[in-house]
Amino acid sequence: MTTIHYHREFIKEFKKLPKEIQKKLAILEGLFELSCYHPELHTKKLQGKLSSCYAFRVTRDYRVIFQFTAYSEVIFLAVKHRKDIYQK
């Protein structure tokens, strides 16, 4: 089981999301806690400046960027539209 921590920027961004995206993410967090590589999440390792991070799909247009902090602990760093999220 994976423990999830939340960066303060993630929390700010989450509050700005449309309500249906917030609900979908809440459901996917349950899957993520069981397995961060669940096929429904489409988890992938990022490259370039974000090479220490991973991303998973909330919907076709929204992504969550996260980073492992320990063996079974992660921190959710950002949640945004895919056109904006990789601009870090």
pTM: 0.92
Q: What is the pLDDT of residues 8-60, one digit of tens each?
A: 999 999 999 999 999 999 999 999 999 999 999 999 999 999 999 999 999 99
Q: What is the structure's pLDDT at 1?
A: 86
Closest CA to 7 of 55, 87, 64: 64
* Host domain of residue 59: 3-85
**How many domains does the structure of the chain reveal?**
1
Phi/psi for 58 (5° steps) reads -90, -50
Q: How confident is the model at residue 87 (pLDDT cuts 50, 70, 90)?
A: confident
The domain that contains 37 carries what CATH number? 3.30.2310.20
